[in-house]
Chain A
Amino acid sequence: EAQVTQNPRYLITVTGKKLTVTCSQNMNHEYMSWYRQDPGLGLRQIYYSMNVEVTDKGDVPEGYKVSRKEKRNFPLILESPSPNQTSLYFCASSFGAGLEAFFGQGTRLTVV
C-alpha cells in the first residue's frame, strides 16, 4: 500500500531535549516536506527537499533541521525543542511540488 509513515504519532517532551520525528514514503517520490499545523494558521511549510541531498527552508524553518540521505526518508530534527514548537506536524511526499501530495497521519508534539 502506498503510504507516508510518520513516527511517533504522539510525543510529549521537555524543553531542550533533542528529538527526531521520522518520515518514510514507499512511492519513490522525489519531493518531500514537513509542515506544522496550528489553529487559525493552516499548514505552514518548515523544510522541503526536491531530491536526495537537496533541502531548502520553507516559511518557518527556525528551530528545525532536516536531512535527506535516502530518497524514502526525511527525518525532522528538533535540536533543542521549546514550548512554541508544540504543534501538529505532517510529513508529505509527491513527485513534484505542484503535484498531488500524500500526507502522513501526523505527529502531535507537546513540549513542556
Chain B
Amino acid sequence: TQLLEQSPQFLSIQEGENLTVYCNSSSVFSSLQWYRQEPGEGPVLLVTVVTGGEVKKLKRLTFQFGDARKDSSLHITAAQPGDTGLYLCGSSNTGKLIFGQGTTLQVKP
C-alpha cells in the first residue's frame, strides 16, 4: 500500500516568513495533488503535478514535483494569516485516492 508522509505536521510562523512543506512516498506517484482545508470546510484543490521535475506557481505558493516522482514540496513565500489552514497532499493508487496526514499551518500577524 502506498503511503504518503507529510512533514512537518505542525508549523507556526510569523507573517512574512517563508516555509516549505514536504510530501514523500516510497512509491512512484502517477500524479500528486495539493489541497488546502480551512476549519469547518472540506479540502479544496490547489494544484495537480504530473511530470517529474515540474514546478507550478500559484501566487506566493510554489509546488515542485521530484524528478523521480516520489516526492513533492509546497513552498510559501512571505506567508500571510490568510494562509492558515491544513495542507494535504494526495495521490491515486489502484483506484484509491489517498492522503498524507496533513500539515497544520498557523501564520500569526
Contacts and interface: CB of A to CB of B under 8 A. Distances in A.
Bin the interface of chain B by size: 20 to 34
Given A40-B101, A41-B101, A100-B48, A106 B96 contact: no
B59 to A, nearest CB: 19
A97 interface: yes
Bin the interface of chain A by size: 20 to 34
A112 interface: no
Closest 9 A-B residue pairs measured CB to CB? Answer: A103-B42, A98-B92, A97-B92, A42-B101, A43-B99, A100-B45, A42-B102, A97-B97, A98-B31
A43 B1 CA distance: 15
B42 A56 contact: no
Interface of A: 4, 31, 33, 35, 40-45, 48, 50, 56, 58-59, 90, 92, 94, 96-106
A59 B96 contact: yes
B95 A106 contact: no
Given A41-B101, A42-B101, A43-B88, A101 B45 contact: yes
A6 to B, nearest CB: 9
A27 B25 CA distance: 31
B41 A101 contact: no
B98 interface: yes
